[in-house]
Amino acid sequence: MVFPNRSSNRGGRRRGGAATELAVWLPLLVFVLIVAIDFCRLFFSYTIITNAARNGALCAIAPTQSPYNSVQDAALADANDLSPAPTVLPPTYGTDGQGNPWASVTVQYQFNMISTYLGFSNVNLSRQVTMRMAPN
């Protein structure tokens, strides 16, 4: 029994299949890459404004021990990597139920995404940090 040689017809019908698959999947892979980059940038920005709010709150609870002139200067010192600079709201002061004084600092930032997927082009980030003042 003689079998026909199938190796000669091997790629005839499937030629260009890999290129077609690449053309179908490449837009989805690029979209996933852009979403991942945006998420990393968003996380980085949120970490920066969290650290900026902490630094501002540290200055608010102990202004004489801080090397900065104001709470806003202290908060913006940690936000050099963000452009434009975030907004630092004036600190609020109060006392808790046990009479311990505290200070709270809020930092706000408008994050601009690379693309406008799912209808989002800007995300408003805000972080508020409250710290208790050390007793004298």
Looking at residue 13, what is its pLDDT? 63
Establish if 97 belongs to a structural domain: yes
Task: Output the pTM of the full model.
Answer: 0.79
Helical H runs in the chain? 17-61, 71-77
Cα distances (Å, whole numbers) of residue 47 to 63, 82, 84, 115: 23, 11, 16, 21
Contact present, 63 and 110 (Cβ < 8 Å): no
pLDDT value at 6 more than 60: no
Beta bridge partners of 105: 129
> Does 9 score more than 80 pLDDT?
no
> Mean pLDDT, to the nearest integer, of 125-134?
93
What gap in Å lies between CA 103 and CA 109, rounded to an integer? 20
Residue 106's domain comprises: 25-132
Q: Does a structural domain hold residue 10?
A: no
Number of domains within the chain = 1
Q: What is the pLDDT of residues 11-63, one digit of tens each?
A: 556 678 888 889 999 999 999 999 899 999 999 999 999 999 999 999 999 98
